[in-house]
Chains A and B, each alone.
Chain A
Amino acid sequence: MNLNLISGSIVSGMVLLTIGMMNRGVNYNSQDITLSSIKQEQKIELSEVLSHDLPKIGYTSDNSLDTLIAYADEKSIAYYSNIDNSADGSVELVTWELTNEADVSTDNPNDYKLVRTVGGTTTNISLGITTFTLNYYDKLGGTTPLTTPLSSADMDNVKQIEVVLVLESAESIQYSQNTGEKFVKSAWVKRFTPRNLKGNG
């Protein structure tokens, strides 16, 4: 018996197994990175649009609007604003709504379509949005949100709007041998204090 050959074969086999397992780990990791980078980029892009829109709630150059918020609940908000600061002062109705329509273009069963409407023009946003929650506060820095949907009185009292946004990847990945498949997530929480809301200085 060639002991040299046998021991070499055993060690070689172990090395091959190690390479194989390492390859699997690298695989998981690279999928994770790729999907995470996509989700984070998409999250940032969506946050930029929300950061563009929400601070403009109720804006007109002469602060002439009586009704700023038309409707508000935990998944949607509709408000008035001269959102493009047009010289003619025209006011648009802006709506953000997380619909109940599932996004069937992905394998993720938890994601839904988000819809942005400005002055009748609708944009469907399919970025794997699983959570789009709006919380409203009538005290700056308050910790107890107002009950939704907001009443007319509460719409006049709102001072801050908090957005909780979670995006998930279209496909799931397996992080390791011992875990099941999971969707990669990216989250963003931001509380806006729109300057043109009544009572916001």
Chain B
Amino acid sequence: MNDYSNIIQVIGAMMLVSVLVTNANKTSFLNKRMIVEGEYETAVTAIAQDIMEESRALPFDEAETEGALPVNIPFDFSLLGTDSGESTTDRSEFDDFDDYDDWNGTVTTIHGDFEVSVNITYINSTTQAPTVSKSTIKRMDITISSNTLREQDQETIKTYNYSYIRSYYAN
């Protein structure tokens, strides 16, 4: 009578090793992804900071760029967004804080491309809730994403959100 216990044990070992290898590969992939995500997420934070710092150096409103200071505040402030004749895509041409409103662009860094979009809203200075009427305080919301950074499902692209408040009185 043949003793098949040997081959059965070997097959058992093979199955165990195959599970081990599968998990090892999966873990290796996850580890590598984690390292790459760490790099990319640092870059995301840096890009958001770049835009916020850049915008701080600009005047609060278009009304301040036209020579005479606005008198009726906030009624003399401009509508949000770039003004007539101004570029909507070239950040280096922005001359006031809310020119960033509805700006969408691709920022290319050493890590690759990041999609960035910016929105500006007037907000209520007490509640900080968005308001349709003009006020002396604006909020910048920045959303950044990258094809490399995904949610757990590996399908949905992860978005990173940052916000910054700017007061007319704190140029």
Contacts and interface: CB of A to CB of B under 8 A. Distances in A.
B10 to A, nearest CB: 5
Contact of B57 (A8, A142, A190, A200): A200
Given A15-B17, A22-B21, A22-B24, A36 B171 contact: no
Contacts of A44: 42
A18 interface: yes
B31 interface: yes
Interface stretch (B43-51, B123-131, B137-145, B152-160): B43-51
Interface in B1-51: 2-4, 6-7, 10-11, 13-14, 17-18, 20-21, 24-25, 27-28, 31-32, 35, 38-39, 42-43, 46, 49-50
Contacts of A186: 39
B165 interface: no
Given A29-B31, A187-B39, A201-B57, A11 B11 contact: yes
Size bracket of the A interface: 35 or more
A12 B28 CA distance: 25
B43 A189 contact: yes
Nearest to A21: B21
Interface stretch (A69-77, A112-120, A191-199): A191-199
A40 interface: yes
A11 B20 contact: no
A15 B2 CA distance: 23
B94 interface: yes
Contacts of B57: 140, 159, 193, 195, 199-201
Given A140-B57, A195-B56, A189 B46 contact: yes
A4 B6 contact: yes
Interface in A136-195: 139-143, 159-160, 164, 166, 186-193, 195
Nearest to B111: A187
B70 interface: no
Given A4-B7, A201-B57, A32 B32 contact: yes
Given A187-B111, A188-B42, A26 B3 contact: no
A193 B54 CA distance: 6
A8 B6 contact: yes
A142 B56 contact: no
Interface string A61-82: 0000000000000000000000
A143 B92 contact: yes
Interface in B84-102: 90-92, 94
13 contacts: A8-B7, A18-B18, A19-B20, A29-B28, A32-B35, A40-B38, A139-B92, A141-B90, A142-B92, A143-B92, A159-B57, A166-B110, A201-B57
Interface of A: 4-5, 7-8, 11-12, 14-15, 18-19, 22, 25-26, 29, 32-33, 36-37, 40, 43-44, 47, 139-143, 159-160, 164, 166, 186-193, 195, 199-201
